[in-house]
Structure 1
Amino acid sequence: MEAIGRALEAILPADRIKTRLIDILSYAADAGFYHLEPKAVVQPVGEDEVKALFRFSHQHRIPLTFRAAGTSLSGQSVTDGILADLSRHWQSMKIENDGATVRVQPGITGGIVNARLRQFGKKIGPDPASINSAMMGGILSNNASGMCCGVSKNSYHTVQFIRFILPNGLTFTTENPDDYQRFREQCAELYDTLLQLRDEVRNNEQVRERIRAKYRTKNTVGYSVNALVDFDDPLDILAHLLIGAEGTLGFISEAVMRTVPDYPEKSTGLLYFPDIHTACEAIVPLTESGAEAVELMDRASLRSVEHLPGIPELVKTLPEPAAALLVEYQGNTQEELKAKKEKFLAVSGAISLIVPPSFTENPVEQAYLWKIRKGMFPSVGAVRQSGTTVILEDIAVPVARLGDAILDLQVLFGKYGYENAIIFGHAKDGNIHFVVTQAFDTPAEIQRYDGFIREVVQLIAGKYDGALKAEHGTGRNMAPFVETEWGPGIYEVMKTLKSAIDPENLLNPGVLINADKEAHIRNLKELPRVEEEVDKCMECGFCEYKCPSRELTLTPRRRIVVRRALVKLKHENRKQDYRQLLKEYQYDGLDTCAVDGLCAVACPVDINTGMLVKRLRRENHSGFANKVALQVAKNFNFVSKAVWVGLKAGSAVNAVFGDHAMTGLTKGMRKVVPAMPLWSPHLKPSSWKPSPAATVAEGDGPRVVYFPSCINRIMGGSEKGKRTSPILSLPCPAKRAFPSYNPTISVVIAADRSIPPKATAPPTRIP
């Protein structure tokens, strides 16, 4: 590892090359259930460094894999080569053409892109459930879709221009007309190969129509060979082959995407049916009436959430074969919504429903209905047995045969002992997800999964001629079965594409194209039992974008991955590695955690890594230290004032003896008392003074009380002498945005020391 790190220093600065044991192990996991330890983790900045990494990979014969957020589920962002982390330095975005298009880099999350587009009434087409944590690099490379996306609004169909770097180090963009001729001249052999494959596919009617038919529904198995049918010029073909290629053909450094409307008006309803077949019969009428989302939930999935507070009592009394559809209409006006609903209601009498259909336009009630749907995956994860992982698979079949396919899947669940399996998904597209919990700690368990997945392949690809992966990408999980779904002819086209573009097979090898027919059961992730908080974690990475220390040391997911690694090293009696990892974990895992609990807000299974770290810190401290901490907490008003006075005194010393006087003094004291904190020239005492609450606005209705955090009250002073008011009472902006929201009072704990942030959703309600 150290030798590779030294070699990499020729092209990257040392602070962006990670080869410590804690870095290698914490990056060995993504959201999938595979585990590979990279030889080094690098954080490139700019295209020149990416090109240098390609050269390094070829020179040293080391595989190279690019990762954005690592929320992929099929093992496409782990490697035993060099892992290039894009999450820090590729976060640029620019809204263009009044929101009609948006220019993005791979390291910015889809949620942030949508938040900035909202003022234009727009959003990106792909809407994966992970959009708040998934980054654009993964959204593009996996051809992500989602609940309202369908086929027409996915990444492939909404990308306008792509800028990319090939493994040979050459950069092209479809935005520059001159690049089309330059590609022909500089990549003549690849150009001719793409032309040849295009013509072979188009001239074979059976193959051409096969491709057309497969992409009328969601499909992310193999390469996007529809590009050979949809586009004429080889550069356009190659650019669209990169969408859904899972980082195996090139590096997408920038993309311009066409946006879609973000409709302001929505109407949502949960419809109950006596059985799954009856529910599936309603899909086509709902789709034809204009429903944007039609989400299917089987009885087992409803049962997994029926214990949650506020769930309608009807859910608990549904018969065993029952099912439900969560339906949402969207439009620019209420009149549009009414017309769409009435179109469905006109034919709903011919469909058997347990209760008459009912819809709501109340945002709070709508959010709760979606919470039911989105709570199914985490509900299984939260109650699974320690040591097991949650496997979330997705398939697509023709809508007309969806009910039959679900019944067949349920038979397989029983055959292989997946008693808690649930089924839900995007029924409008014939796309369903199923969740099972699985351990990989014994040969028998691995054999069980292998047998199950092979029967699923035969069922979906054989009996139903469907897609083995509708949204989640091929990865390592379905790589052995790409040929099974597509047939040997089209699979040979895919292999030719890979060898022509990446002849050395060094770019994310083993993903998507893999000759090993057992690749899906290689390098499986172990989840040893550690402690309650850790055992619940699915390593999905949803928490990472909330973490204040994510760009300094570890994220909550990586903190938990390391906790598991420590247990594994201990069990394997690797004493030296255990001691080294434990030492590195002290700063990276414990000392730098903000313990603010923000990770729990985004965690599907409500893990508060901050509470875990607090407990570990307490256990690492002596009894005396814990008593001192308790007294500080009990007398925090006095302590905060004392710290403020200390800062004031330190600033006075610097004013008299020079700007670096306190730095030198604290360095000297630290030699005697190692725990003595060093003075920083950035420390400034706040200009805050205790004062009554300042009411800055009058009016009737709910109030927002704004409390600056303690760190701002003590160290929040600015050089311009602006004051931070300790308490501000403001009208509740959520009341204007959500008229039905009626809190008594709302509280915002703010880290900003100037103006309270604008509320975009109801703040926390305190009765």
Structure 2
Amino acid sequence: MTLPAAFLAAVARLIPPQRRFDDPLSTLAFGTDASFYRLIPQLVIRVESEEEVQQLLQLANQQHVAVTFRAAGTSLSGQAVSDSVLLVLGDHWNGREIRQDGAQIRLQPGVIGAAANAALAPYQRKIGPDPASINACKIGGIVANNASGMCCGTAQNSYHTLAGMRLLLADGTLLDSEDPASVARFRQEKAGLLAELAELGRQTRANQALAERIRHKYRLKNTTGLALNALVDFDDPLDILCHLMVGSEGILGFISAVTYHTVPDYPHKASALVVFPDVESCCRAVTALKPQPVSAVELLDRRSLRSVQEKPGMPAWVAALSEQACALLIESRAASASLLQEQLAQINAVLGQFPQERQVAFSSDPAVYNLLWKIRKDTFPAVGAVRRTGTTVIIEDVTFPIERLAEGVNQLLALFDKHAYHEAIIFGHALEGNLHFVFTQGFEEPAQVARYEAFMQDVAQLVAVDFGGSLKAEHGTGRNMAPFVELEWGQDAYQLMWQIKALLDPHGILNPDVQLSRDPQIHLKHLKPLPAADELVDKCIECGFCEPVCPSHGLTLSPRQRIVVWRDIQARERAGENTQALRQAYQHHGLDTCAATGLCAQRCPVGINTGDLVRKLRAQRARHGALAHRLGAQLPALLRAARLALRLADGTRRLLGTPRMARLMRRLHQASGQRLPLWTPAMPQAASPLRLDSQPLPDARPRVVYFAACVSQAMGPSASDGERQPLHEKTRALLEKAGYQVIHLASPDSLCCGQPWQSKGYFSEAQAQRLRLLDALLQASRGGLDPIYCDTSPCTLRLLQDHPDPRLDIYEPVRFIQQHLLPRLEITPQTEPVAVHVTCSTQHLGQAEALLNIARRCSTQVIIPEGIHCCGFAGDKGFTTPQLNAHALRNLQQAVQHCSEGLSTSRTCEIGLSQHGGIDYHSVVYLLDRVSRALSHDDNNPEK
């Protein structure tokens, strides 16, 4: 059904056009969440305030227009997609307020779960829910799905840790349960609704059989259907209403803020992996562990262990386990190390009662317990990585009564065999009887859909009827289990849910067919295609874990959305459709505004680097290979030209003044179609040329080969920067202060790592440049005898990628400082606060924590701006596509306003960071040089 013209006209008056999307590319991009369903919305609106949501709901209610709310879109059961109007949270839903020394926290729905915990970390507290998607999912989704996780259980979920809520009903009525004025107004305006809720509660509590069924269901982990426990746990209709909203998946209203009672986040922890000879003994151990001081007990069946047994770092004995083996990954946490040891002794005493095949004993060593948890976390992507292209990965989550867990596991395994899901694995939160099972499924053919339907019918009968369990423990009902809610709950409870829905949303506008549906086949409709697009991204499961670190997310497309759209383009072209318009839109949204830095790969469960696809597509459009080769042969001239351009730009600035210069260059940038680089006040001045020594003389000092990157050779500090020395001079001075003899390459201005060509898709020239540089480094380092220092992390990463020369020991600044300079320097940290930007390349090189440690050695106050992952400058995009850089750093200035300077390891990134942060960003070398002095000979002599 098309949207009413009156509704669209009213929306157009309310929401500016840049936050309304109805074009084919945008609606397709937003038509996907982490589930295996797809619906293409007719209109996507990015909402930025509660007032906007309120007015939109009033309009939708009047016009009977269906509305769906979306936070991060990591939902697994189809809760966050719509074929009508999709309301997506914008930037301005990130408020948080810590109360009572961390005992409570008030959060808006756009706060990422991990960010809430980061805010609570100084108080050694956290929110109760701990879903696996906590680094990507947002509070709105966590509450609306009553998400839990590995340590959460049932006692610490959103329902049980709820302290207050601010919500909007379907007609736009506002309630803030923590504001007495709002409560009084709501009680007056909605007296009839509250009376009916109170009566439903009385009737439910009076129905002994129903009340007992509800209590039994919520003894288990359960997110199937509405939270009917609200009707038996509370008698005040306001309490009933707020708790009904938890887990309601957007079908009862919009949650605009929630207050949690927080839970302890104990600093001391230890983990063990215990393998039992069979499922039965494993599950009996779970029952025995239930009352013990354990924070998590994860079950892994033999299939799940087999899926990861070849992964790097896995114990060799995993591959040799028996066919019936079943493992428990156990964690215990405590407030002190001594208490932790007491707890471990208790747990080991219980485990000693059961036969064991193998074990990794409890360890507090981060290297050990991180490896153990990696086994658990790698199981899901392991299935995804081996699936056939065109199939999807489905992860279901059910709950069995813990006393029947072994029987439930074995019968699930029998269903896998019955329906030929031989790749399926089982793992889960064993303490709660909560099992996840993962399998691959195609939906291209009717026979595949029929196979899936038959399997789900058997699963529903097994879990809900035979075992009295829960079909959805923590992933939400969504569309996936909506047809089975009545089977699980029975007719009385099911009709009660419909009564609540009709009471709070009488026109049925909120997320129709989610959680409650009259269509018994809704779980088999709108199944998402995953057609082949490119081998680089075909394993993408569209989970959305990549989105928080993507600089273009919210500006154009995220990595997930780039893949979604490219898949659709490829499928349409195979079907003979004309995709010219979609391809044209994709050029800007998908390719031109992608930083291609690959941070998405670090968050992706199956390791997909969407930047690789973007570079490949750029290469297909690269038409100037001969010119690229000629430019590669003229590097010294290019460097001279770059310095000349910077001198001319700075001379013009001196003549016109900074404000007029900025306005002029902005106009010229726009008039040139963004081909002319954008000038900003943070633009560097020309750097002085490298000072090259003659042939090195014999010297007792240790040698280091210093490769100054092209940008370091060309770009000095900006005119307004307090630092005047270019990076290559500052670096040399610091190396010499630490007692090193600095060796330069013979012709450094003719050598490059190849990164500029690589990012533009000229791969052969990029590789030729890289190999020439590696040969020169090999010669300068005396065949690899001397360490090599590269002063920017992106260039170092480029040199170390694609089969690095094992003879060369190449360092970027952070690792060299950490290993070689800090032991040779005496540091007096400054008290002025500094901001740290960990570049994408530093993260890829695994040096993020080391950079922060160096900063903390140099300053007593180190600020890490929240939510700033990739700056979006991406080499030269800060000049040519400045909106990407501006969008990525839109929240930076507020975060660093009290800092004296910023630290980084990439000269180009520092340009954008300085521009949008309002402070000068430099290489970490500048700060280290300023706060350090060389140790005396006696200081360096270990015998003194």
* TM-score for both structures, normalised by structure 2: 0.74
Instruction: Give, in angstroms, the shift of residue 715 of structure 1.
Output: 8.3
Question: Which runs of structure 2 are paired with 1:553-564 in the superposition (5 Å)?
Answer: 553-564=556-567
Greater shift, 493-502 or 276-285, is seen at 276-285
Give CA-to-partner distance per residue, 1:274-301, whole Å, 9 cap, x none.
Answer: 1111111111222322111100000000
Note closer, same or farther for the CA distance 1:174–1:312 as it changes in structure 2 (3 Å cut).
same
CA distance in 1, matches of 2:822, 2:99: 29
User: Matched residue of 1:593: which SS?
Assistant: coil
Structure-2 residue corresponding to 1:466: 469
Instruction: Give, in angstroms, the shift of residue 710 of structure 1.
Output: 5.2
Give CA-to-partner distance per residue, 1:601-636, whole Å, 9 cap, x none.
Answer: 0000000001110111011111xx245446667877
CA contact (8 A) 1:164 1:254 kept: yes
User: Matched residue of 1:157: which SS?
Assistant: coil
RMSD of the alignment, in Å?
3.0
Structure-1 residue corresponding to 2:282: 279
Structure-2 residue corresponding to 1:387: 390
**1:180 pairs with 2:183:** yes
Which residue of the other structure, out of 40, 44, 47, is the alignment partner of 1:44?
A: 47
Instruction: Give, in angstroms, the shift of residue 721 of structure 1.
Output: 3.1
CA distance in 2, matches of 1:241, 1:691: 68
Question: Which runs of structure 2 are paired with 1:300-379 in the superposition (5 Å)?
Answer: 300-355=303-358, 358-379=361-382
Structure-1 residue corresponding to 2:936: none
Question: Which runs of structure 2 are paired with 1:519-538 in the superposition (5 Å)?
Answer: 519-538=522-541
**1:542 pairs with 2:545:** yes
**1:200 pairs with 2:203:** yes
**1:144 pairs with 2:147:** yes
CA contact (8 A) 2:279 2:325 kept: yes
CA contact (8 A) 1:412 1:452 kept: yes
CA contact (8 A) 2:70 2:89 kept: yes
Note closer, same or farther for the CA distance 1:535–1:668 as it changes in structure 2 (3 Å cut).
closer
Give CA-to-partner distance per residue, 1:467-490, whole Å, 9 cap, x none.
Answer: 000000000000011111111101
Structure-2 residue corresponding to 1:585: 586
Instruction: Give, in angstroms, the shift of residue 637 of structure 1.
Output: 8.0
Structure-2 residue corresponding to 1:594: 595
Instruction: Give, in angstroms, the shift of residue 684 of structure 1.
Output: 2.1
Note closer, same or farther for the CA distance 1:465–1:668 as it changes in structure 2 (3 Å cut).
closer
The residue type equivalent to 2:610 in the other structure is T
User: Matched residue of 1:390: which SS?
Assistant: strand
Structure-2 residue corresponding to 1:647: 646
CA contact (8 A) 2:47 2:90 kept: no
**1:111 pairs with 2:114:** yes
CA distance in 2, matches of 1:485, 1:130: 27
CA distance in 1, matches of 2:54, 2:317: 59
Instruction: Give, in angstroms, the shift of residue 209 of structure 1.
Output: 1.3
Instruction: Give, in angstroms, the shift of residue 680 of structure 1.
Output: 4.0
CA distance in 1, matches of 2:197, 2:37: 33
The residue type equivalent to 2:515 in the other structure is L
CA contact (8 A) 2:643 2:686 kept: no
Note closer, same or farther for the CA distance 1:636–1:71 as it changes in structure 2 (3 Å cut).
farther
Using the aligned pairs only, state the percent identity: 42
CA contact (8 A) 1:34 1:523 kept: yes
CA contact (8 A) 1:5 1:18 kept: no
Instruction: Give, in angstroms, the shift of residue 178 of structure 1.
Output: 3.5
The residue type equivalent to 1:57 in the other structure is A
Which residue of the other structure, out of 424, 449, 458, is the alignment partner of 1:421?
A: 424
Structure-1 residue corresponding to 2:250: 247
The residue type equivalent to 1:39 in the other structure is Q
Give CA-to-partner distance per residue, 1:23-51, whole Å, 9 cap, x none.
Answer: 01000110000010001111112111101
User: Matched residue of 2:309: which SS?
Assistant: coil
CA distance in 2, matches of 1:5, 1:256: 34
CA distance in 1, matches of 2:905, 2:352: 51
CA contact (8 A) 2:468 2:488 kept: yes
CA contact (8 A) 1:110 1:131 kept: yes
User: Matched residue of 2:358: which SS?
Assistant: coil
The residue type equivalent to 2:485 in the other structure is V
Instruction: Give, in angstroms, the shift of residue 55 of structure 1.
Output: 2.1
Question: Which runs of structure 2 are paired with 1:97-108 in the superposition (5 Å)?
Answer: 97-108=100-111
CA contact (8 A) 1:183 1:191 kept: no
Instruction: Give, in angstroms, the shift of residue 523 of structure 1.
Output: 0.6
**1:155 pairs with 2:154:** no
CA distance in 2, matches of 1:707, 1:547: 29
Instruction: Give, in angstroms, the shift of residue 654 of structure 1.
Output: 3.6
Structure-1 residue corresponding to 2:413: 410
CA contact (8 A) 2:74 2:544 kept: yes
The residue type equivalent to 1:546 in the other structure is V
* TM-score for both structures, normalised by structure 1: 0.90
Note closer, same or farther for the CA distance 1:298–1:647 as it changes in structure 2 (3 Å cut).
same
Note closer, same or farther for the CA distance 1:146–1:41 as it changes in structure 2 (3 Å cut).
same
Give CA-to-partner distance per residue, 1:320-360, whole Å, 9 cap, x none.
Answer: 11111100110011211111121122233320101366111
Structure-2 residue corresponding to 1:765: none
User: Matched residue of 2:676: which SS?
Assistant: coil
Instruction: Give, in angstroms, the shift of residue 527 of structure 1.
Output: 1.0
The residue type equivalent to 1:110 in the other structure is G
CA distance in 2, matches of 1:134, 1:500: 29
CA contact (8 A) 2:642 2:714 kept: no
CA distance in 1, matches of 2:638, 2:261: 54
CA distance in 2, matches of 1:656, 1:256: 56
CA distance in 2, matches of 1:375, 1:304: 8
CA distance in 1, matches of 2:84, 2:287: 47
Give CA-to-partner distance per residue, 1:521-567, whole Å, 9 cap, x none.
Answer: 01100111111122110000000011011121100000000011112
What are structure 1's unaligned runs of at least 5 residues?
693-704, 736-741, 759-767
User: Matched residue of 1:304: which SS?
Assistant: helix
CA contact (8 A) 1:75 1:477 kept: yes
CA distance in 2, matches of 1:272, 1:216: 28
CA contact (8 A) 1:289 1:341 kept: no
Structure-2 residue corresponding to 1:435: 438
Question: Which runs of structure 2 are paired with 1:444-483 in the superposition (5 Å)?
Answer: 444-483=447-486
Structure-2 residue corresponding to 1:761: none
Note closer, same or farther for the CA distance 1:350–1:477 as it changes in structure 2 (3 Å cut).
same
**1:608 pairs with 2:609:** yes
Give CA-to-partner distance per residue, 1:679-698, whole Å, 9 cap, x none.
Answer: 34455225866789xxxxxx
**1:27 pairs with 2:27:** no
The residue type equivalent to 2:642 in the other structure is V
Question: Which runs of structure 2 are paired with 1:750-761 in the superposition (5 Å)?
Answer: 751=909, 753-754=921-922
Which residue of the other structure, out of 220, 228, 231, is the alignment partner of 1:225?
A: 228
CA contact (8 A) 2:384 2:606 kept: yes
CA distance in 2, matches of 1:715, 1:56: 56
CA distance in 2, matches of 1:125, 1:169: 29
**1:552 pairs with 2:551:** no
Note closer, same or farther for the CA distance 1:675–1:301 as it changes in structure 2 (3 Å cut).
same
User: Matched residue of 1:533: which SS?
Assistant: coil
Count of residues in correspondence between the two structures: 736
Give CA-to-partner distance per residue, 1:445-494, whole Å, 9 cap, x none.
Answer: 11110110011000000110000000000000000111111111011111
CA distance in 1, matches of 2:163, 2:650: 55
User: Matched residue of 1:394: which SS?
Assistant: strand
CA distance in 2, matches of 1:337, 1:358: 14
Relative contact order higher in (CA < 8 Å, ≥ 6 apart): 1
User: Matched residue of 1:359: which SS?
Assistant: strand
CA contact (8 A) 1:644 1:715 kept: no
The residue type equivalent to 1:596 in the other structure is T
Structure-2 residue corresponding to 1:695: none
The residue type equivalent to 1:424 in the other structure is F
User: Matched residue of 1:352: which SS?
Assistant: coil
Give CA-to-partner distance per residue, 1:105-127, whole Å, 9 cap, x none.
Answer: 11121011112221211111100
CA contact (8 A) 2:380 2:438 kept: yes
Note closer, same or farther for the CA distance 1:272–1:718 as it changes in structure 2 (3 Å cut).
farther
Structure-2 residue corresponding to 1:299: 302
User: Matched residue of 1:402: which SS?
Assistant: helix
Note closer, same or farther for the CA distance 1:653–1:138 as it changes in structure 2 (3 Å cut).
same
CA contact (8 A) 1:683 1:715 kept: no
